[in-house]
């Protein structure tokens, strides 16, 4: 599936950032440090993104990112 504006617009800009970092294999702690937010905030962005994307695991986020050509 190729990303459409509608697919990506489901996520806030921060959720999209977090989803992309998850797809690159970063942990919640690494994401928090990189984005200068708390680990709990990173976890909430991850959970919200996963809920909006309809995936149940980090692997689902990776699959979504690959399908939507977010990884280079």
How many CB atoms lie under 10 A from the CB of residue 31?
23
Which residues span the domain enclosing 27? 5-67
Asked if residue 24 is part of any domain, the answer here is yes
Determine, yes or no, domain membership for 61.
yes
pLDDT at 9 over 90: no
pLDDT tens profile 10-61: 899 999 999 999 999 999 999 999 999 999 999 999 999 999 999 999 999 9
35 falls within a domain: yes
Q: Domain containing 31 — which CATH number?
A: 1.10.10.10
State the Cα–Cα distance between residues 56 and 72, nearest whole angstrom.
23
Question: Whole-model pTM?
Answer: 0.85
SS3 readout for the chain: CCCCHHHHHCCCHHHHHHHHHHHCCCCHHHHHHHHCCCHHHHHHHHHHHHHHHCCCCHHHHHHHHHHCCCCC
- Tally of structural domains, the chain: 1
Whether 54 maps to a domain, the answer reads yes
Residue 72 inside a domain? The answer is no
In a domain, 16, yes or no: yes
* Whole-number pLDDT of residue 65: 92
């Amino acid at each position: 599936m190729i990303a459409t504006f509608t697919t990506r617009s489901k996520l806030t800009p921060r959720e999209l950032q977090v989803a992309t970092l998850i797809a690159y294999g970063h942990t919640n702690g690494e994401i928090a440090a990189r984005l200068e937010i708390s680990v709990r905030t990173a976890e909430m962005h991850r959970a919200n993104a996963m809920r909006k994307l309809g995936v149940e695991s980090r692997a689902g986020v990776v699959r979504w990112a690959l399908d939507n050509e977010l990884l280079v």
